[in-house]
């Protein structure tokens, strides 16, 4: 009954914002268009389609808000105007009961709030779609925040995801555009992401890894996780007091070097992607702060590490070379790298892919470098490659979205940011270091124990391989003979089928009076009869069979 009420509410909001207008009706089957006819009773929308979808997500609650945020991370599948609007979705959700939050913390940690903390703020510090945060102080005086998952949210998520999946299946089944946009894939991706976010132990592990990666760097600070007070549904972290990165006035008031701040954001991104291969993939402005210390050499502070991305070593290498080749306008190499990496099938003609990439990129690079959007160039490159059967690469889409966030933030902080000027030397240095003797020696030391473990087995493996080759050589004549026998049997079997068909056809003719009379009259002119026809067919079959 609860699911039915929920479905009714979803349909009501769907109709109010006329989301039927988003469906490509010319590609929908007749029965679906008939079902959508009642939508005509509602007034035509005055808002654009992106805003209507955003407001729908906001009205339907936190799960749909999160789903809208996920859609905004798929510019490879979702139109740009909708992505722009969905980027405005915020996690401003009414908090749940304070008493319930307290009891959750006490149950998870096995003690009372007073015994664990010396100070605890009853009013929430922040309330998001799946979690709520309160400030507190540990007994040792450390200022912390307590993050707890909303109670009962798993059941609500499961119900809403089931409904979203059903809608996606219908869209993919009855819409040509639905097949192209792969809505089922998006919903399944969302289901994985949202359930991962419910595991605060996982987020804490991500935060600890990210903190360790930047432990000796002044670029980024990650709050400390207090593992003694962290569970699957509860996490306690160090409290930070930075300036929200979007508070430009406060940043300028403390004389922050805005150019340096923007460039450091780009450097953090490339360091995470290429040096650490572990990048914060949810770096929207709400999760980024700036330290109040050293404004002339500003330091970022990151929170909410629920979504983390990484690339394979091959993807790292090909992505770096693609970016360098693209900005050198070496479109031939870009096309070759797409095929070499396996992103595009090998049967695609490299000349055609090269021409398509040139058509997309050449108008962009006619602009001054500071006006070029690095993220949008990458987006256009992937969209072009998809026309040549490039499969959607989830890890690259996540990276692309993060780059768009970082670039947009950097341009907001410093409009003249030249992303390429910052990225180019980094990529050149990374590729050079990748094949430096010191790096190769590091790889050798890393994998040497595994190689040494397997090395004693190598002679035996070589001997076994040679023995198998010899056995195959000895079996070759027998295999050839067997193949000839199988071919002969196949021909024999085919002839039997033809003989059976001829006999069956003759039997059908003889069993049909009309056919018998017609053929008998015709064959009488040739002084032949039905029995002779059947005997003739059988004779032909036997001759054919004996060949």
Question: Nearest to residue 69, comparing CAs of 48, 46, 92, 47?
Answer: 92
Looking at residue 470, its pLDDT comes to 66
Rg (CA), the chain: 34
**Two tokens, residue 267:** 């450097």
Distance between CA atoms of residues 377 and 362, nearest Å: 10
pLDDT at 219 over 90: yes
Out of 40-44, 314-318, 424-428, 522-526, least confident range: 522-526
Residue that the structure tokens 């798993």 belong to: 154
Q: How confident is the model at residue 543 (pLDDT cuts 50, 70, 90)?
A: very low
CA of residue 188 relative to chain centroid, distance: 10
Looking at residue 47, its pLDDT comes to 85
Whether 418 is catalytic is: no
pLDDT at 495 over 60: no
CB-CB contact of 137 with 119 (8 Å): yes
Instruction: Tell me the per-residue pLDDT of 445-479, one tens digit each, with 9 for 90 and over.
Output: 665 676 566 667 767 767 676 677 666 666 556 65
CB neighbour class for 392 (10 Å; exposed up to 12, middle 13-18, buried from 19): middle
Q: Which long-range contacts (CB under 8 A, 24 or more apart) does 329-333 make?
A: 329/361, 329/362, 329/365, 331/357, 331/358, 331/361
Looking at residue 239, its pLDDT comes to 96
Q: Which residue has the higher pLDDT, 477 or 283?
A: 283
Looking at residue 517, its pLDDT comes to 54
**Two tokens, residue 210:** 């990210």
pLDDT at 508 over 50: no
Question: Nearest to residue 225, comparing CAs of 237, 210, 240?
Answer: 237
Question: Nearest to residue 123, comparing CAs of 106, 99, 103?
Answer: 99
pLDDT at 142 over 60: yes
Looking at residue 523, its pLDDT comes to 47
Q: Which residue has the higher pLDDT, 93 or 180?
A: 93
Catalytic entry in 20, 76, 160, 282: 282
Q: How confident is the model at residue 129 (pLDDT cuts 50, 70, 90)?
A: confident
Looking at residue 24, its pLDDT comes to 63
Residue that the structure tokens 């768009």 belong to: 404
Q: How confident is the model at residue 526 (pLDDT cuts 50, 70, 90)?
A: very low
Q: How confident is the model at residue 137 (pLDDT cuts 50, 70, 90)?
A: very high
**Two tokens, residue 128:** 């998001």
Looking at residue 362, its pLDDT comes to 85
Looking at residue 544, its pLDDT comes to 47
Mean pLDDT of 332-340: 91
User: How large a percentage of the chain has pLDDT more than 70?
Assistant: 72
Backbone angles phi, psi at 329, to 5 degrees: 60, 30
**Two tokens, residue 180:** 């192209």
pLDDT at 503 over 60: no
Mean pLDDT of 206-212: 96
CB-CB contact of 89 with 58 (8 Å): yes
């Amino acid at each position: 009954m609860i699911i039915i009420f929920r479905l009714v509410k979803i349909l009501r909001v769907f109709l109010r914002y006329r989301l039927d207008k988003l469906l490509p009706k010319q590609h929908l089957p007749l029965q679906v268009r008939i079902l959508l006819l009642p939508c005509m009773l509602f007034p035509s929308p005055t808002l654009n389609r992106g805003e209507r979808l955003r407001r729908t997500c906001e009205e339907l609650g936190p799960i749909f808000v999160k789903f809208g945020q996920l859609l905004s991370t798929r510019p490879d599948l979702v139109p740009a105007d909708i992505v722009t609007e969905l980027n405005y979705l915020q996690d401003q959700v009414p908090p749940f009961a304070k008493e319930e939050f307290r009891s959750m913390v006490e149950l998870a940690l096995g003690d009372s709030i007073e015994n664990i903390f010396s100070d605890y703020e009853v009013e929430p510090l922040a309330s998001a779609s799946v979690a709520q945060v309160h400030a507190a102080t540990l007994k040792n005086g450390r200022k912390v925040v307590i993050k707890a998952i909303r109670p009962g949210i798993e059941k609500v998520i499961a119900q809403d995801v089931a409904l979203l999946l059903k809608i996606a299946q219908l869209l993919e089944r009855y819409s040509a555009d639905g097949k192209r946009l792969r809505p089922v894939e998006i919903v399944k991706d969302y289901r994985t992401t949202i359930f991962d976010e419910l595991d605060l132990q996982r987020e804490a592990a991500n935060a600890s890894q990210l903190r360790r990666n930047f432990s000796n760097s002044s670029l980024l600070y990650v709050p400390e996780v207090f593992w003694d007070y962290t569970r699957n549904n509860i996490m306690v972290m160090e409290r930070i007091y930075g300036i929200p990165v979007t508070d430009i006035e406060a940043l300028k008031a403390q004389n922050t070097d805005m150019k340096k701040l923007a460039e450091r954001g780009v450097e953090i991104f490339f360091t995470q992607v290429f040096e650490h291969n572990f990048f914060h993939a949810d770096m929207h402005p709400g999760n980024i702060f700036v330290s109040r210390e050293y404004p002339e050499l500003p330091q970022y502070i990151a929170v909410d590490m629920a979504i983390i991305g990484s690339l394979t070593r091959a993807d790292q290498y090909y992505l770096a070379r693609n970016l360098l080749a693209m900005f050198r306008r070496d479109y031939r190499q870009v096309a070759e790298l797409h095929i070499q990496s396996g992103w595009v099938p090998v049967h695609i003609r490299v000349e055609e892919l090269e021409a398509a990439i040139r058509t997309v990129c050449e108008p962009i690079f006619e602009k001054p470098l500071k006006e070029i959007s690095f993220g949008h160039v990458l987006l256009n490159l992937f969209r072009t490659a998809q026309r040549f059967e490039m499969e959607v690469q989830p890890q690259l889409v996540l990276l692309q979205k993060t780059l768009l966030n970082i670039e947009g933030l950097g341009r907001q902080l410093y409009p003249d940011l030249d992303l390429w000027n910052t990225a180019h030397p980094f990529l050149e240095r990374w590729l050079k270091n990748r094949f430096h003797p010191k790096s190769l020696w590091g790889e050798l030391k890393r994998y040497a124990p595994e190689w040494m473990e397997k090395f004693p087995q190598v002679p035996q493996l070589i001997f076994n391989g040679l023995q198998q080759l010899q056995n195959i050589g000895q079996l070759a004549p027998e295999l050839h003979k067997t193949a000839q026998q199988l071919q002969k049997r196949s021909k024999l079997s085919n002839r039997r089928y033809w003989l059976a068909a001829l006999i069956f056809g003759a039997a059908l003719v003889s069993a049909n009076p009309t056919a018998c009379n017609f053929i008998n009259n015709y064959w009488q002119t040739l002084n032949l009869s039905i029995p002779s026809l059947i005997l003739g067919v059988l004779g032909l079959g036997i001759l054919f069979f004996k060949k």
